[in-house]
Structure 1
């Protein structure tokens, strides 16, 4: 079969490789001048630092098959994400752990003592937290919430934390030990030569043709047997029902002669600081040595029509519009919507790859059994 894949990020790279290996003819188009989507990395000409052009991407997973998959195409170096945050002219570790708690409250508590202490700070009248703010007040109390979560969240999402669902904060655990590893997954690391080289290797197959700087039009799919679309779901329909809400990021790049902040990620939790964090990119590849440094200040804001969409908002209004686009999508023939933008969901890289592998296998099974591949392998409304 002749198959068109729109977007050259992780989703379609994996789907394309799996289908090409099964003997199908694959054409991948992307409107940008490079592959790998938002995880694109490139060498900075001035400093030699490997830069995460659209912000840092750190690979972490418990999925053994996904870990083995990416290691087939790139050597992965060990990397532990240790995030710091500057609040009240002090530097603390995140996620909130025993060191953070002891430092913040100027105490020397054991784990059991810290649990009891934090429970005394919590608002136990909140039995079932429904909002981000209620979740924080219930489990860490007002002081830690206002220091580490409130201002950062308002800057990141552009709204008060009482407008956000509690589920967002559930991804940020409190630890009653001194473990400052931001993630808790079994496998963690970075591709030695960057994500673009990883995707390049995945796409290196004689049955795959990649066309860059090519904007997709819906009519382009007519000559193909099937289309996998990883662009914005609303964009496929020319935003005819309105635009789904996203947050976007602005990056203020600067260089420094030496080591600027001593870590890869420094958050700034106070609302008075306009940016959310500073990332120092040479620390994402600690096996390399560079005299100079490249840093990004990150600013979050509402996504305009000409901006790059990063984070789907998925509040009540957006979910109502999403449901309408999903119905339109289900009426399409021989088109499957995939990935972060195609399903309007925030996805970590390992989940993206897992869903792409499963989608490709489902497609091959459909072809074998004479069934039509559905518009979504994963329910965007779930």
Structure 2
């Protein structure tokens, strides 16, 4: 039996803690916040009784059957389809771009093959190998759709020109030549009936796990642990002594009203002259509930400061260079394993976070049994 310290009570830390506790190890999980579940934390709003995604919308979607079965063991998942709308130049459209979006935007009634050919005629075919976000959009959807839905929104979200961002960001946004407006294409999609925090609390509910909230990590804690799993920012482990990795953070402006505010869960605001990126109306994330009042967030993106919550890793050239230095140092560390989105400096959806935590657990269980040294990384942060 090992005494293991896990820093961070989000999905990464909770899943690893539960897996190792079931193997007979003693786990201590600490988190500096007053709640578990990290940025997935959800709670009832006292004024409206709506279940609020406190740190912004989280919709669960996955193709990983093991992950879907795992999360359903710890909470009831209700089917949910995320149907995002977008406002551009005073008109409302469906996202991702689909046949309805194309026909509405261009004032046409194209069939699927006609729409495919039409969009090809709009595309900049001179861009053979897109390297930037802007080139990727111009190559595959053309200038008009790029300017309407991507250019302004992207500038607000990332704080830089789309010409400075890698093409890989846009590869996650599909174009559909049918009327499917489901934002995701994964087999399993849902929302937890009682919120994500209840699920993480269930995962952590084991006699071999002690949870300490409002507790900051101190280096001296390593002495009482046989091993540490670190889910905080990679650069924070080293006291930011080489500098800080770049993140975007979010500010939320709360709006409450009687009845409905916007009639759907999420509306993106694509125009540059609108300062917020989107509005999320939280009662629409729980459509099985009925509420007379509503609460919504206007979401603003900006560069993350020292005291802000890091959301999206920027991963531009200078950040990747700094990341390389921290990864090189981390690989020389003993007695610590870096896991999760912050510790590997990657954007991860919830299902990928859970899958990687399960994979890490699978890898370390036999190593712990054998008394072998655990690796600093089980996922390559530079990949």
Range of TM-score over shorter length: over 0.9
Deviation at 1:217, TM superposition (A): 1.5
Measure the CA separation in 1 of the matches of 2:137 and 2:328. 36
Aligned to 1:344: 345
2:43 is matched with which residue? 42
Q: Any idea what SS the aligned residue of 1:368 has?
A: helix
Alpha-carbon offset, residue 368 of structure 1: 2.6
SS in structure 2 of the partner of residue 340 of structure 1:
helix
* Alignment partner, residue 26 of structure 2: 25
Distance 1:361 1:138 in 2: 42
Q: CA RMSD in A?
A: 0.6
Structure 2 stretches of 5 or more lacking a match?
none
- SS of 1:379's partner is coil
- Residue 126 of structure 1 is matched in structure 2 by 127
Query: Which deviations, in whole Å up to 9, do the C-alpha atoms of 1:79-106 show, x marking residues without a partner?
Result: 0000000111111000000000000000
For residues 311-363 of structure 1, the C-alpha deviation after alignment (integer angstroms, 9 at most, x for no partner) is: 00011110100010011111111100010101100000000000000111111
Distance 2:9 2:368 in 1: 23
Cα deviation, residue 369, structure 1? 3.3
Provide, for residues 294-327 of structure 1, a one-character-per-residue CA deviation record: whole Å limited to 9, x for no partner.
0000000000000000000011110100010011
CA distance in 2, matches of 1:222, 1:290: 50
1:12 paired to 2:13: yes
Task: Report the secondary structure of 1:179's partner residue.
Answer: coil
The CA distance in 1 between the partners of 2:349 and 2:307, in whole Å, is: 24
Q: Distance in 1 between matches of 2:132 and 2:122?
A: 18
Listed as ranges, the matches of 1:179-218 within 5 Å are 179-218=180-219
1:218·1:236 contact (CA, 8 Å) conserved in 2? no
For residue 375 of structure 1, give the secondary structure of its aligned residue in structure 2. coil
Matches within 5 A, 1:148-167: 148-167=149-168
Correspondence for 1:242: 243
Structure 1: state its 5+ residue gaps.
none
* Aligned counterparts of 2:334 and 2:223: Cα–Cα separation in 1: 10
SS in 2 for 1:146: helix
Q: State the alpha-carbon separation in 1 of the partners of residues 206 and 369 from structure 2.
A: 23
Counterpart of 1:61 in structure 2 is 62
Which stretches of structure 1, 4 residues or longer, exceed 6 Å deviation after superposition?
none
Which residue does the alignment assign to 1:295? 296
Contact 1:253–1:295 (CA under 8 A) maintained in structure 2 = yes
Where 1:333 maps in the other structure, the secondary structure is coil
Q: Show the 5 A alignment for 1:49-88.
A: 49-88=50-89
Could you tell me how far apart the structure 2 residues matched to 1:247 and 1:217 are?
26
Partner of 2:327: 326
TM-score (norm 2): 0.99
Q: Distance in 2 between matches of 1:172 and 1:361?
A: 32
Q: CA deviation at 1:218?
A: 1.9
SS in 2 for 1:92: strand
CA distance in 2, matches of 1:349, 1:139: 28
CA–CA distance in 1 between the matches of 2:302 and 2:377? 29
Count of paired positions: 382
